[in-house]
Amino acid sequence: MSGLTRLGWTALSLALLVAAWQIAAWLAASRLLPGPAAVVEALHRAAEDGALFRNIGVTLARVAASFALAMALGSALGVLLGRRPALDRVVGPWVVVLLNLPALVIIILCYVWFGLTEVAAITAVAVNKIPNVAVTLREGAGALSRDLDEMAQLYRLGRWTRLRHVVLPQLAPFFAAAARSGLALTWKIVLVVELLGRSNGVGFELQTAFQLFDVAMVLAYALAFTAVVQAIELGVLQPWERRAARWRR
Amino acid sequence: MISLQLAINHKRFPAATGSPERTLYRDFTLDVAAGTTVALLGPSGLGKTTLLNIVAGLDTDFEGAVRFSPKAPRFGYAFQNPRLLPWRTVLENVLLAAGRGTEARARELLTQAGLGAALEAYPERLSLGQQRRVGLIRALAAEPDVLLLDEPLASLDAQTAARLEAMLARQLEARPATVLLVTHDRTEAGRLARRIVTLDGPPVRIAADDPA
């Protein structure tokens, strides 16, 4: 299927969704299910005074900070556990416990222990994501090729050369998988963190709209933010993945 | 040039799996004079690759010693499974092992080996035979003191094998090294090596040790 046809199908599919939404809004005839026009109007309202962009910007900054923190710490932990089975036997079960702890519990504990601060918010999101990253990268580190390691040893490749040319390319697919699922998870948790303990950001705005039963505004923020995240996926993640996999047959 | 003294007092195989252990080597010695090419012949599965790995320092799970004189060598190793980095091009693979300032020579060697059109290709786009040739060129380009060749000409058509054999002979003449050549092919061994060691076992022992 060519790129254009696929784009065409996506457009058609989204148009169908909007049509169905419009019909449902007509049938419901309630302010609790506003139609597309009302949502666009709310979007316009939020954009006009700059609140929309400010809040999306704040939320994205939180997503970026906690995502970077989780990827860095989670990768380091995962690689360490993958390379040191003895350590994995001790720490591995902790990771499983953390993996199964509800996000909400971690958020509440962070706010209780560190106060309703930016640090607590970002820590809470990162801690939610770290075990995920660690488990994925542990798998990658455990699957590192011994053959290539021996080749690097035989030809006396330096530490940095080995890392750059032998180890990191093997971990790249695992890193990409962790990043992809990580971004989706991170931004969802950031909204909850904002809803519970911050005074700005998309999550906070959603809460305000919720209290006013302003469903149009809830949908407006949801749409705008989803579009931004989708743009990051298409503009950053996918090109990077294609580049990292260009050697594959 | 480097001479090599190998003494394997005891080597078990497999070392760490559930299958029953067997003794692969017991009281085995092999001395190789500096600059000599020694062919190792013997049935497959005997442990010839293990011997190369022990010499290369990649297999240290044995009782015994490998001594090089007068100094620790630079190695080149044409592995049976070529062990190329799939995410680096053919040329990059060779340059990583050969080091800086070797690009002209690497290009020339690859071209001589019939890989001139594949310099910028990724290994997965090549046939296994071509990949193994890249592995051989990588070993040569590293300018080794000790060159380990594990069936370097197997799975090549006769014409390519002859071309590579001639090239190998030329390279070793221009830049002598101490070579261990594992092969099944007695005529190939006769053409390339100065000494042919025939192995049998297990445990591996030297059944015959002849000048070529």
For residue A153, count other CB atoms closer than 10 A to its CB: 14
Contact between chains at B77 and A154 (C-beta distance less than 8 A): yes
d(Cα B126, Cα B145) in Å, to the nearest integer? 29
d(Cα A7, Cα B183) in Å, to the nearest integer? 57
Q: Which value, in Å, is the radius of gyration of the alpha carbons in chain B?
A: 17
Confidence at A241, pLDDT banded by 50, 70, 90 = confident
| Single pTM value for the model | 0.78
List CB contacts (< 8 A) between A157 and chain B: 96-97
Confidence at B16, pLDDT banded by 50, 70, 90 = low
The three-point CA angle B72-B4-B52 to 5° equals: 90
For residue A131, count other CB atoms closer than 10 A to its CB: 21
Contact between chains at B74 and A156 (C-beta distance less than 8 A): yes
Order of all β-strands in the sheet with B146-150: B75-78, B146-150, B178-183, B37-41, B195-200, B205-211
Of B81, B122, B142, the CB nearest to A155: B142
User: Closest Cα partner for B212 from B61, B3, B17, B40?
Assistant: B40
User: Closest Cα partner for B97 from B130, B59, B68, B135?
Assistant: B135
Contact between chains at A150 and B87 (C-beta distance less than 8 A): no
d(Cα B123, Cα B81) in Å, to the nearest integer? 12
For the stretch B104-140, pLDDT in tens is 889 999 998 889 899 999 999 998 889 999 999 999 9
List CB contacts (< 8 A) between B78 and chain A: none
List CB contacts (< 8 A) between B102 and chain A: none
* C-alpha distances out from residue B149 to A234, B181, B186, Å: 47, 5, 15
> How far does the CA of residue B208 sit from the closest CA of chain A (Å)?
30
ipTM over 0.90: no
Of B96, B124, B138, the CB nearest to A165: B96
Confidence at A4, pLDDT banded by 50, 70, 90 = low
> How far does the CA of residue A248 sit from the closest CA of chain B (Å)?
7
Q: For position A3, what pLDDT does the model report?
A: 59
Give the CB-side neighbour count of residue B178, counting CA atoms within 13 A: 22
> How far does the CA of residue A62 sit from the closest CA of chain B (Å)?
34
For residue A199, count other CB atoms closer than 10 A to its CB: 8
Among A221-230, B11-20, B43-52, which is the least confidently predicted range? B11-20
For the stretch A35-75, pLDDT in tens is 999 999 999 999 998 999 999 999 999 999 999 999 999 99
In chain A, pLDDT over 70 holds for what percent of residues?
98
